[in-house]
């Protein structure tokens, strides 16, 4: 099907023009109401003027996960350790968004350093799900999910995923969320969780919004040598042609025992709608995507990298401080880290240090890297046959706060079974709302090959337009 460019141009305008018509005061009081009801963010500015009136995002309110540096505005990564940290610089993505006229209007709440699946591990406010305030929003970019669901204006939420932190809140809050290929978007100015896994992406109410956000943020950055120059322009080429699109449905995801029956049924219905639109759908066996491989490999790699990244928070360079002269340095470091890190952070430092320790290194860390290689190969093999893979994003709807609190850490880690695979492999993926169960949103996950964001966006867009 031919792409009608004039129509695409119209859509950009619509996205922006609704917004430039916004009265700043009305927006402000809307945001205050949302903050009071769901606690998704900390307001950062009430100045909605822009120097880039012709920019792609002129007038669009944008929120930024609090793990991404904003010059002169506190960037806490959800941790008491960084409560008063004011970066002297902007992350590259923030500069790029502002250069296109975006208003960076708030920092969204998150699990401390990105460690979590429900956004209940924040040292500050824990956001509530706008669809049901007794339920969690999903983590770790929970504030981004809640804000996107609640804000009734064009809005893009910049977020980050290490193992599913964009997809989980998108699914639980009923919005779209894209995690790009590793290296597509600069991580300069991101407070690292695990460098080989971290990716900046975005959430929006529509697939189009995510495509537009990604267009603005993507591209080579000399401050991040892992970035690459690849074609973008996703929003302009969004298309609803899925005729002949080969969709593989991994049995290891769809039949995973943790997937709730009603969620499975809802996602199958959505996949069949894509089939009716012309796609070819087939179940596929991808044994290395099973929970037994991906979840342990992911958590070992992630906590190993995290434990080294967290070594810098010792009360000396930046962040929380105390009195180093009192007891000597070792005691001082322990005191600071004991006082300012939360429980999940301490757990991960211990796990990560253990996995990297001499004697255990080859048993855990190096083995996890080998499994990671196998997972990448499994995806690569699958993408020789299929254009995209589709599955539920999360195995269940957002749990209540009480249900989430009853799970032990290993049970929580298992909730990431469907999202850690593509993250380990650096494959782009998008979660798109595909129905409800018990009045709560369900997300369909569409995973693509490296740098093939356009195909997953088109598939998600096609589904959304139906």
CA–CA gap between residue 124 and residue 47 (Å, rounded): 25
Nearer to ligand GLN, 27 or 136 (CB): 136
Nearer to ligand GLN, 144 or 217 (CB): 144
In angstroms, what is the minimal distance from the CB of 163 to ligand GLN? 3
Q: Is 138 in the site for ligand GLN (CB under 6 A)?
A: no
Among candidate residues 165, 304, 307, 431, the one labeled active-site is: 165
Residues 111, 132: contact at Cβ < 8 Å?
A: no
Q: Which helix (H) or strand (E) holds 15?
A: helix 5-20
Interface residue with ligand GLN among 76, 79, 162, 393 (CB under 6 A) is 162
Whole-Å CA distances, 46 to 26, 31, 332: 11, 10, 40
Whole-Å CA distances, 365 to 356, 371, 411, 415: 6, 10, 21, 22
* Tokens found for residue 417: 């079974």
CA–CA gap between residue 356 and residue 362 (Å, rounded): 8
In angstroms, what is the minimal distance from the CB of 456 to ligand GLN? 18
348's CB contacts (< 8 A; 6+ apart) are 115, 303, 306, 307, 310
The mark string for 285-324 relative to ligand GLN (x by CB under 6 A, - otherwise) is: -----------------x----------------------
- Using the rule CB under 6 A, give the single segment among 156-164, 169-177, 207-215, 444-452 that binds ligand GLN: 156-164
In angstroms, what is the minimal distance from the CB of 165 to ligand GLN? 3
Interface residue with ligand GLN among 35, 39, 63, 117 (CB under 6 A) is 117
Among candidate residues 140, 167, 186, 304, the one labeled active-site is: 140
Beta-carbon neighbour count of residue 32 at 10 Å? 11
Instruction: Give the nearest residue (CB) to ligand GLN.
Output: 165
Interface residue with ligand GLN among 92, 140, 252, 462 (CB under 6 A) is 140
Total count of residues recorded for the chain: 466
Please choose, from the candidates 19, 107, 108, the residue with its C-alpha nearest in 3D space to the C-alpha of residue 56.
Answer: 19
CA–CA gap between residue 145 and residue 202 (Å, rounded): 10
| Phi/psi-derived region of residue 114, left when phi > 0, alpha when psi is between -120 and 50, beta in every other case | left
Residues of this chain, 377-436, that bind ligand GLN according to CB under 6 A: 416
Name the DSSP class of 398. P
Residues of this chain, 180-199, that bind ligand GLN according to CB under 6 A: 193
Cα 226–Cα 232–Cα 233 angle in degrees, nearest 5: 160
Residues of this chain, 163-182, that bind ligand GLN according to CB under 6 A: 163-165
# residues near ligand GLN by CB under 6 A:
13
65 is catalytic: yes
Interface residue with ligand GLN among 61, 87, 116, 130 (CB under 6 A) is 116
Nearer to ligand GLN, 277 or 369 (CB): 369
CA–CA gap between residue 264 and residue 442 (Å, rounded): 10
- Using the rule CB under 6 A, give the single segment among 17-25, 155-163, 280-288, 335-343 that binds ligand GLN: 155-163
Nearer to ligand GLN, 315 or 342 (CB): 342
Residue that the structure tokens 């609640």 belong to: 150
291 is catalytic: no
Residues 167, 429: contact at Cβ < 8 Å?
A: yes
In angstroms, what is the minimal distance from the CB of 299 to ligand GLN? 7
In angstroms, what is the minimal distance from the CB of 337 to ligand GLN? 19
Q: Which residues bind ligand GLN (CB under 6 A)?
A: 114-117, 140, 161-165, 193, 302, 416
Give me the active site residues, please.
Answer: 65, 140, 165
């Amino acid at each position: 099907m031919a792409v009608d460019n004039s129509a695409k141009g119209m859509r950009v305008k619509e996205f922006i023009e609704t917004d430039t018509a916004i009265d700043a005061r009305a927006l402000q009081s809307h945001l205050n109401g949302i903050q009071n009801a769901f606690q998704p963010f900390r307001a950062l500015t009430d100045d909605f003027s822009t120097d880039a009136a012709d920019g792609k995002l002129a007038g669009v309110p944008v929120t930024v996960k609090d793990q991404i540096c904003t010059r002169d505005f506190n960037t806490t990564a959800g941790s008491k350790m960084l409560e008063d940290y004011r970066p002297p610089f902007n992350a590259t993505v923030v500069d790029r968004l502002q250069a296109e006229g975006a208003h960076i209007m708030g920092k969204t709440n998150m699990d401390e350093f990105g460690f979590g699946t429900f956004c209940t591990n924040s040292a500050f406010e824990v956001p509530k799900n706008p669809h049901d305030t007794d339920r969690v929003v999903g983590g770790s970019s929970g504030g981004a999910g809640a804000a996107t669901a609640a804000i009734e204006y064009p809005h893009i939420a910049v977020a980050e995923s290490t193992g599913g932190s964009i997809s989980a809140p998108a699914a639980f809050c009923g919005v779209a969320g894209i995690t790009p290929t590793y290296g597509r978007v600069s991580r300069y100015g991101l407070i690292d969780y695990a460098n080989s896994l971290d990716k900046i992406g975005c959430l929006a109410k529509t697939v189009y919004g995510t495509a537009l956000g990604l267009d603005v943020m993507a591209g080579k950055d000399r401050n991040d040598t892992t970035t690459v120059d690849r074609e973008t322009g996703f929003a302009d080429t969004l298309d609803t042609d899925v005729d002949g699109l080969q969709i593989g449905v991994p049995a290891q995801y769809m039949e995973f025992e943790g997937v709730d029956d009603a969620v499975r049924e809802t996602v199958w219905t959505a996949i069949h709608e894509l089939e009716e639109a012309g796609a070819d759908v087939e179940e596929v066996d991808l044994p290395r995507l099973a929970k037994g491989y991906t979840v342990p490999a992911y958590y070992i790699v992630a906590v190993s990298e995290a434990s080294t990244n967290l070594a810098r928070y010792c009360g000396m360079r930046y962040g929380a401080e105390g009195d180093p002269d009192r007891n000597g340095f070792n005691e001082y470091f322990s005191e600071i880290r004991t006082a300012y890190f939360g429980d999940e952070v301490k757990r991960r430092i211990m796990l990560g240090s253990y996995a990297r320790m001499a004697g255990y290194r080859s048993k855990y860390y190096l083995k996890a890297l080998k499994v990671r290689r196998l997972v990448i190969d499994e995806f690569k093999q699958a993408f020789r046959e299929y254009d995209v893979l589709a599955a539920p994003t999360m195995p269940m709807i957002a749990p209540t706060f009480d249900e989430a609190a009853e799970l032990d850490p290993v049970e929580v880690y298992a909730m990431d079974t469907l999202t850690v695979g593509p993250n380990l492999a650096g494959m782009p993926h998008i979660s798109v709302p595909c129905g409800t169960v018990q009045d709560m949103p369900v997300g369909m996950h569409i995973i693509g090959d490296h740098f093939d964001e356009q195909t997953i966006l088109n598939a998600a867009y096609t589904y959304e337009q139906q």
